[in-house]
Amino acid sequence: MKRFCKVRWIALLLLIVAGTAFLSFKNSDNRSFQLAKNIDIFSSIVKELDLLYVDTIDANKTIREGIDAMLYSLDPYTAYYPEDDQSELEQMLKNTYGGIGSIITWNTKLKRSMIGEPYEGMPAAKAGLKAGDILMAIDGQDLEGKNNQEISEMLRGQAGTSFKLTVQRPGVEKPLEFELVRRAIELPIIPYYTKLENNVGYINLSTFSGKPAREFKQAFLDLKKQGITSLVIDLRNNGGGLLDEAVDIANYFLPRGKTLVTTRGKIEQINMSYKTLREPIDLDIPLAVLVNSSTASASEILAGSLQDLDRAVIVGTRTYGKGLVQTTRSLPYGGQMKITTSKYYIPSGRCVQAIDYKHRNADGSVGRIPDSLTTVFHTAAGREVRDGGGVTPDIQVEQEKLPNILFYLVNDNLIFDYATQYCLKHETIADAQHFELTDADYADFKEMVRKADFKYDQQTEKILKSLKEMAEFEGYLKDASGEFEALEKKLQHNLDHDLDYFAKDIRNMISIEILKRYYYQKGSIIQQLKDDPDLKEALKVLGDTEKYHSLLSPKATADPAVAEK
């Protein structure tokens, strides 16, 4: 009897295994059929369009738009790059491209592109091009009617090739012609580092593309020679790059053999583990890391790893929350595809991904994972941290909101144009650290704005108008008409008042734009650091040893026995 029962259980188990295998095979077979079916349908649609559509279709454009829409429906990071359009991918991976090394911006009045910001030491700056130069022609071809994207593509090309660029410089009567030789442009990885007060080092790291670990090491060792006793790493607005580079930089401050990142995807080959492989440079120097909402990807790996291992105090605002990893795949006809293959997890085990692209709303939109659905993890010392929403700083700094008028002044190029005129009048200025915009300078700027007949939307006027319309709709306007009229008089558009009331923010933006013209990106960073709330908090905590260590230690819990007494 026992033998019969045993045989029966074995038979049942084999039946279950066989059934599972059959269903798995059936599901896999059905999935393959659905894939083949839809590819066949797509191919047939394209052929029918090409044969019968009333106008001749551009096959490359139509299919490319279909591919882009399909990939974007998955997430913003999965993208296709055909053979003739891989400069963006190359720049992303290597932090280089063939060109002249300048930001190109749009002149709204002239409806032409212009030099916005030449990079220090690059062909544009070396040739003598300046911010504000209007781009007129390339090798004699008039650029009128071309947008920024088209002109940027014309300026880029194989390193070593040359062309003639004709520009119209403000304040100069005749057009100027420049002979430019394209080169491999490397965007500044560390645009600025210095020793601040009280022997605090500061390193601004702008990207993890290229070879940032090597440059960071050089900057850090140079600061150590200068006698720094603590360090601020500025990762604000750093959108990320190469994961390995983030691990290497973290390794400078963490012991060898620590697992910093694991990646998990659909297939086993994608699952990886990244450890610190080298001996550190400094395990003891106090660290503060500055982050904001534009700190993403590899930047979050560095900040999150240092937080999870209780090695640095994070200061600023919650980071972007990109916990997805992309790899590149070769495609037919020389194309490349950047595809999201996995999510990454930092030492505490959390993933910082803030948006769940798999579960979209009914209208196709996506939103951040609510805090109520995030999970608590713990740092090496036992501090609570959470997943699902970027890296939350240990010291959160409330960010000042920029005034509405400043957006319009920048958007209308009034601050840019004033900086251009300022440079025509001043051949040299004070060094970036000591430069100040005078009251007379600001008075000149205000006069220029008045003459430009500058207009801008005031949010209070918009909200009041909406409130008035709603009050009329609901029948309250008649009784409240007097109050509305009084409020409208007080909220009347007053340009002089706004230029004076928001003078601090406007003057700071003007100073940044002016300093770019003389000291490039380094100058603008120095100006921004002069009154930087995040940096102030970082300096404060690095100067207070007791607070620094308390922030890196778990919060003490009350002893129940003591509480009962």
- What tokens were used for 194? 């210095």
Judge whether 541 and 551 are in contact, CB under 8 Å.
yes
Bridging pattern class, strands 313-316 and 287-291: parallel
* Residue numbers annotated as active site: 297, 308, 322
Task: For 20-33, give the DSSP string.
Answer: HHHHHHHHHHHHHH
> Which phi and psi (to 5°) does residue 77 adopt?
-100, -15
Task: For 297-313, give the DSSP string.
Answer: THHHHHHHHHHHTT--E
Q: Going by C-beta distance under 8 Å and a sequence separation of 6 or more, which residues neighbour residue 93? A: 209, 242, 328
Measured CA to CA, the distance from residue 380 to residue 385 in angstroms comes to 11
Measured CA to CA, the distance from residue 99 to residue 124 in angstroms comes to 9
- What tokens were used for 259? 């697992």
Judge whether 408 and 499 are in contact, CB under 8 Å.
no
Closest to 210 measured CA to CA, from 231, 182, 252, 238:
238
Q: Going by C-beta distance under 8 Å and a sequence separation of 6 or more, which residues neighbour residue 122? A: 100, 101, 102, 183, 185
Give the angle subtended at the CA of 365 by the CAs of 360 and 370, to the nearest 5°.
Answer: 70
Closest to 251 measured CA to CA, from 221, 222, 273, 282:
282
Measured CA to CA, the distance from residue 341 to residue 336 in angstroms comes to 15
Judge whether 288 and 315 are in contact, CB under 8 Å.
yes
